[in-house]
Structure 1
Amino acid sequence: MNISTISEFEIHTLEWFAKNQVNTRHNTYEILWVKRGEGFLKMGPEESEISGQTIYCLQPGRLKQLVPAERMEGYYISLSADFLQLAETTLSFSLLSAQNDLLQIPIDEETEAEVEEILGKMRKEFINYFSFRLEVLKGLFKIFLLYTSRKYSYPVTFTKDAELLRRFMQLLKEHFITKKMVTDYAYELNITPSYLNQVVKKLSGYTASYHIQQYLVKEAKRLAIHSNRSMKEIAYALGFNDMAHFSKFFKNNSGVNFTNFKKGISLMIQH
């Protein structure tokens, strides 16, 4: 089966994932919703038993292999730190600040139906090229985390570094158009740029500058999708006075030039 992918987010059935998984894990967070069945998660030299009616959350690079002991039902989710941070829930910040723990969240029968419905809709969006596909996935994923956070009974204790990450992401959300340098945010947080980069990289897997760049790219894509503005108008709206600079910035940080991105949107809408 040819499964369409989004670099920031993937969702597969556990049955599909067990058959198609690869040993090399990328720098993404991973979530498994085990609805039915039992098995093991191999995480380097460690091995943890897993069972039904439980959600398992793993840090980047932890999961090496899923080994079912019997037929398993549920879903596997892989997502970037950026995608996770957009949800801004208690659970998302707990995942970002955790180090090596395997978070296990039991799901009762009442919540199971909601979780199954949301993940089923996510899977449908993921394998189809509907309009505004990524935006819908982001919305559904946030709803999923909100339901899950209700059942997340672990004490919420933000470390100093986790609190710094939270404050940085909040400042970035509010000022990414006017503040484009790591030094801008380090000044606001009263720390050095190198320390900010160090903490953000440790907890999220990406540097502070990467997050700044991605916020700008995502806003540029949002404006391209939801408005009829030209590249020049979008560049100015994002604080770029030089259109050539914006064009180069967009291509370097998205992997595609702006004109081709706009053409791709037009083709999606036509189909």
Structure 2
Amino acid sequence: MPKSSSLEEFYRKASATLPPGISKEIGHFNVFETEKLFNRETGSRIMPYNRRSYYKISLVQGRNKAEFADKVIDIRESALLFATPKIPYHWVPQDNIRGGMFCIFTADFLSKNKAGIELDGLPIFQPGQLPVFQLDKTATEELEYIFRKMLRELEGDYLYKYDLLRNLVMELIHYGQKLQPLSAMKSTQNAAERISSLFIELLERQFPIDSVHQRLSLRSAKDYADRLNVHVNHLNKVLKEVTGQTTTEIIGKRVTQEAKILLKQTDWNISEIAFTLGFEDLANFSSFLRSTRSRRRWRFARK
């Protein structure tokens, strides 16, 4: 069952020691070599679906699969991955290669009063993006150098080392943003695109569902229109123009994705899943599933 993954939980699973005081004073940051951590007895490196309280940038080596909702990305050799507290993912190794490094940090480590950065405003962390980038040999070597430098600086006693580490984190972020398609980097240019972008962001903020006590607060097209301060008919027209889909279709598709994740990756019963996704009773949820996929396929998704 997924649950909130705090920094303390991360360090416990990694058999590492949480550095004292850092998270209270300057925000938390740390960097690791992947092969030295996680389930040393079993050798497992699977990263399960959950909500984390920190951001993570990973240089992953070897054959892997990255699963984001209903999308699966096959990694052949090396990849750069950006993980946020908002977007659930499942990382499944496909071979025994255990190279790579990663860093974790909290939002306040790069907060506006320290580095002038609003993380969620950066293109790499925008909803709807797939922040996994396959790398060639040159890019892998360049990124490994940055991670190694992080490790050296973190272990050093330079007075301003955390300022230097923030710069190195930003270097990784900019590296990833340069790998994004140009379309992902462009700012919205008109009112329709702005409304569409805000709607998608508002929708994604409700996920992932990580507790049977959590429930979608926005469920209908009118809920979103009211929150965005536009008429529901105008919102529907805008989304149809920009995306080719109605408001209800987009909401339904995202709820379907979350339902699929919860059915496959939790041990919650159907009633609990129905409740968290905003359905008043099991009959309505069953009707929703039948309208999106056959019951037979949903039974297989549960296995």
Query: TM-score by structure 1 length?
Result: 0.46
Scaled by the length of structure 2, what TM-score is found? Answer: 0.42
Larger radius of gyration: 2
